[in-house]
Each structure stands twice: as C-alpha cells, then as structure tokens.
Structure 1
Amino acid sequence: MIQGNSTFIHVGQIHTDYGPVAISTVLGSCVAVCLHDTKLGIGGMNHYLLPFWNNNGLQSPRFGNISIPKLIEAMLEHGSDIKNMEAKIFGGASMNIYTSDTMMIGEKNILVAREILKEYKIRIVAEDVGGLNGRKIQMNCEHGKVLLKYASRIMNS
C-alpha cells in the first residue's frame, strides 16, 4: 500500500490524480473502473452502484452509464489521451446469495463497464470481478498498479 497521499472514494464518486498518490475504495456488488494514462502517469477511479440511470431524477455517477464517461472526461481534462489509457475493472460480486434473479446486479455492473470501455476503445488490461467476496482496492496513480484484498462475505457494497 502507498504511504502518504491517498484518497478514499465512496459510491457515486470519481477521482483522478497523478504522481505517487493512491486512490482506494471498498466494493461489493458495486464496480470500480480504474483508468491509467501510461504516458503521463495519470490515474482515475470511479465507484458505481447500479449499471444504468433510468432517466428518473438527476443523472448521477452512482450509475455506470453516467460514471464511466464522466471518469473518462475527467482523465481528458487532466491532459490524458484515450489512446494512452488502459483500464482495470474490479467488483461486481454476488453479495446476496438468496436472490433468484437470472442476472444479478453485480453481473450487470460488470457488463456495462466492459461495453462502455469497448465503445471508447479503451483496452481492459486486467480485471478481478464477480465471485462472492467483496474487495478493497488501492490504485497507484503514477504506475497504474492496483493492490487488491478480498473482504469477508458479510460485507455489503
């Protein structure tokens, strides 16, 4: 883990930074997309709860289809170029073992991340998604490395 400058993000938040600093979060069925500009050492992370905004109420980065484009925009505002970006995806666990949904929310969150990154032509270089356990992640913005630790089953997103 990085000592010193670190920012923790919660559901619905997006953070971008550069240099030897870290961004971290804790995920259950939520998903975090981590972007890294390999040329400039800029990193960004989001944390979203649900895959799609349903056009009801305000657009919010709590939804993947809002959060991921906003994360990409934030990276571009820092001077990044899409062709230099790589993505890593984390989260999307099946936290409720008692539900009978054919596709659980975690799976939908993972799919929306993959689809939007594909639309933007941003390569996914790593992912640790699905399963039954939550995750704590910390991303080094300068190098794009992500440290991951699995959480216990009793965790919620």
Structure 2
Amino acid sequence: MTGANNIPAEADYFLKPAYIFVPSKPTLISTVLGTCVAVSLFDKKRRVGGMSHFKYPRIADPGQATAHYGNVAIPTLINMMVDAGSKIRHLEAQIFGGAFNPEYSQEDVGEENVELARMVLKKKGVKVVSEDVGGEKGRKLVFHSEKNETAVMKVERLRPSDWYPYEGER
C-alpha cells in the first residue's frame, strides 16, 4: 500500500490481541483475527488512524479492566485519538473479525464482541462505515493508518506462522 504520492507507509506494526495502537506516522497495522474483533478509527480531517484488538466483550470489575475487553479497548482507542487532536465528529470506524467456529467452542464470543463494538461506538457517537464480521473463517488484515484502506484476507485456519514474529511459510 502506498501514500497519496505513491510513498509507502513509513512503518509496519503487528497488533497483538489486547493491544491498542495510534501511530504518529503513516503505518501499516496488521493483525490476525478469529473470534477477536479489531476496530479501526480514522480521522477524516487529520488523515490519521489507529486500531484496537480485543478478545472478549466486557469486564465489569474495574480492577480487572484491560484491553483484552472491548468495553475497555474501544473507549481507550477513542480517547487516544482525541488526546492526539481528533474530534469525535471527524472519526469513522470499521469493525473486523468476530468469527464463530463450532469446532472450537459452543459459545459465540465473536458475535458478542461484534455487538459490543457496535454498541460502544454508537454510544460514543462514532459512525461505523464498514464491517467485515462473522462467519466461520479467520481473518488477516492490514490497515493503512493514513489512507484508511484495509485489506482483509479470509483464511480457513490460523497457523502459528500467521502471528508475529512470522516464521515459516505464510
């Protein structure tokens, strides 16, 4: 992916589960999702973006609150964008992931994660402009933080080599 004048992003960053990243320079943010959900935010006016990646929908105990949970990760991402100079009215969101594979679990945590993301974004006044959610396949995605472009690749199985640091064939 390239910038406005065919200039590549300045950096690459692999977003692990329970992490939130708002880069200070154009960055290709990549991640791998199964039941987890990634939310990208993009400031249309400032042309900057960031992303969160969470595993579970919510945690009620403030002492246990971490970015593993959507009700912590999404508001934190919004606050990080606002602290960096964004205004809520200029933000737009994309939601990715939330797969359900009954071979691995009878509980559809993925759907709960997606519903939580939609609810929090609506409550915070951030418009969702795109979703690639649900189904039974995992996803690999790459988000360009300056262009608000995302490539999503659906995969049958997530392999250890899909995770950073990458090893073997991908």
TM over 0.5: yes
Do structure 1's residue 51 and structure 2's residue 51 form an aligned pair?
no
Give, in angstroms, the shift of residue 144 of structure 1: 0.8
Q: Counterpart amino acid of 1:27?
A: L
Matches within 5 A, 1:101-140: 101=107, 104-140=108-144
Q: Could you tell me how far apart the structure 2 residues matched to 1:90 and 1:10 are?
A: 14
Which one has a bigger Cα radius of gyration? Answer: 2
Cα pair 2:26 2:48 within 8 Å, conserved: no
Cα pair 1:18 1:41 within 8 Å, conserved: no
Any stretches of 5+ residues in structure 1 without a counterpart? Answer: none
The CA RMSD measured in Å over matched residues stands at 2.0
TM-score, length-normalised on structure 2? 0.84
Identify the residue that residue 143 of structure 1 maps to in structure 2.
147
Q: Counterpart amino acid of 1:130?
A: G
Q: Deviations over 1:75-94 (max 9, x none)?
A: 01110111000000000000
Q: Which has the higher contact order (CA 8 A, sep 6+)?
A: 1
Q: Deviations over 1:57-116 (max 9, x none)?
A: 431000000000000011011101110000000000003336444xx1000000000000
Q: Could you tell me how far apart the structure 2 residues matched to 1:76 and 1:105 are?
A: 29
Identify the residue that residue 17 of structure 1 maps to in structure 2.
23
Q: Could you tell me how far apart the structure 2 residues matched to 1:105 and 1:9 are?
A: 20
Q: Could you tell me how far apart the structure 1 residues matched to 2:102 and 2:110 are?
A: 10
TM-score, length-normalised on structure 1? 0.90
Moved over 6 A (4+): none
Identical counterparts, % of pairs = 38
Identify the residue that residue 72 of structure 1 maps to in structure 2.
78
Any stretches of 5+ residues in structure 2 without a counterpart? Answer: 3-7, 164-170
Cα pair 1:88 1:127 within 8 Å, conserved: yes
